[in-house]
């Protein structure tokens, strides 16, 4: 589905991962895409409604499917030959056209639902999302300089827990740390800048007033999104990582938390 508006300044893709019609997430999805369409041309990927198959397999490898080798490299060859499955090519086309990516999902087992993880597995192929070398520096074009460089992303996540239990001292772990594999290991890896998380706490117990409040809060967030700064993750190409992998010992010595991957001495998740 594509929602257009005549005065839009850009394009967006809203990827939605929740199975139930009429749910709180469904209401957020519909209200959010409608609000965003006032300023963007919005394409949507409603993964459950589309019946998107999240399982990466031989059909994603084209002619190289029967050949031994690294599955990511084989999928990259299939991409280069135009042999990916039609549904994957469609998702790549929508993502390539988008300046803004919105990912909406419930927090399940402290991570993304399997259908969204599988969307990453099948859609973010080598050659399309990552894989090239920087010709000047000789380092891989990833972590801030990937194949999807120049795009921004908003993560909208609903959680059944309150802001203390998934806060910085919470028993379930800090939500920013829980989703670091998404904001840094997936989005930043392929060059997409992540904005601060949009978290809905206590989503399972919201009454009618709470639902209306959260819908209004999301609309307000979307209205001001273009002026928001992204998380200042360090880029691989800037030389902060020794041998392209570990942060140099002279930068924030003694620290091992995820916050070291932010430029400067910012704490992870300072902007929410």
**pLDDT at position 271:** 36
What is the pTM (predicted TM-score) of this model? 0.88
- CA separation for the pair 112, 46 (Å, rounded): 15
Q: Is residue 5 predicted with pLDDT exceeding 60? A: no
**Please, where are the H alpha helices in 6-149?**
24-36, 47-50, 71-80, 86-97, 114-123
Q: How many domains does the chain have?
A: 1
CATH number (domain holding residue 33): 3.40.50.360
- Determine, yes or no, domain membership for 262: no
- Determine, yes or no, domain membership for 32: yes
Q: Which residue has the tokens 């809905």?
A: 200
- CA separation for the pair 73, 67 (Å, rounded): 11
- Determine, yes or no, domain membership for 259: no
**Of residues 194, 29, 30, the one with CA closest to residue 106:** 29
- Determine, yes or no, domain membership for 269: no
C-alpha distances (whole Å) from 119 to each of 28, 50, 87, 219, 223 are 21, 12, 10, 26, 27
- Determine, yes or no, domain membership for 18: yes
- Determine, yes or no, domain membership for 249: no
Percentage of the chain with pLDDT > 70? 91
**3-class SS of residue 80:** helix
- Determine, yes or no, domain membership for 268: no
- Determine, yes or no, domain membership for 27: yes
Q: Which domain holds residue 191?
A: 2-235
**pLDDT at position 138:** 66
User: What is the rounded average pLDDT of the residues 39-68?
Assistant: 90
pLDDT bucket at 202, cuts 50 / 70 / 90: confident
User: Average pLDDT over the chain, rounded to whole?
Assistant: 87
């Amino acid at each position: 589905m594509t929602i257009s508006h005549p005065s839009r300044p850009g394009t967006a893709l809203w990827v939605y991962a929740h199975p139930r019609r009429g749910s709180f997430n469904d209401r957020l999805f519909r209200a959010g895409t409608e609000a965003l369409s006032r300023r963007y041309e919005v394409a949507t990927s409603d993964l459950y409604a589309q019946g998107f198959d999240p399982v990466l397999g031989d059909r994603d490898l084209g002619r190289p499917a029967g050949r031994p080798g690294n599955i990511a490299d084989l999928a990259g060859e299939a991409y280069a030959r135009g042999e990916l499955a039609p549904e994957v090519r469609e998702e790549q086309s929508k993502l390539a056209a988008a300046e803004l990516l919105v990912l909406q999902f419930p927090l399940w087992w402290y991570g993304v639902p399997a259908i969204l993880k599988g969307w990453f597995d099948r859609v973010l192929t080598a050659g399309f999302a990552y894989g090239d070398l920087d010709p000047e520096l000789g380092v891989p074009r990833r972590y801030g300089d990937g194949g999807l460089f120049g795009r921004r992303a908003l993560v909208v996540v609903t959680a059944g827990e309150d802001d203390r239990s998934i806060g910085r001292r919470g028993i379930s772990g800090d939500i920013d740390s829980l989703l670091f594999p998404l904001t840094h290991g997936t989005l930043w890896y392929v060059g997409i800048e992540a904005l601060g998380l949009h978290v809905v706490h206590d989503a399972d117990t919201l009454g009618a007033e709470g639902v209306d409040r959260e819908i209004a809060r999301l609309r307000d967030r979307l209205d001001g999104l273009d002026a928001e700064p992204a998380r200042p993750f360090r880029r691989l190409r800037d030389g902060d990582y020794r041998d392209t992998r570990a942060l140099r010992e002279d930068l924030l010595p003694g620290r091992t938390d995820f916050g070291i991957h932010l430029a400067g001495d910012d704490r992870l998740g300072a902007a929410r």
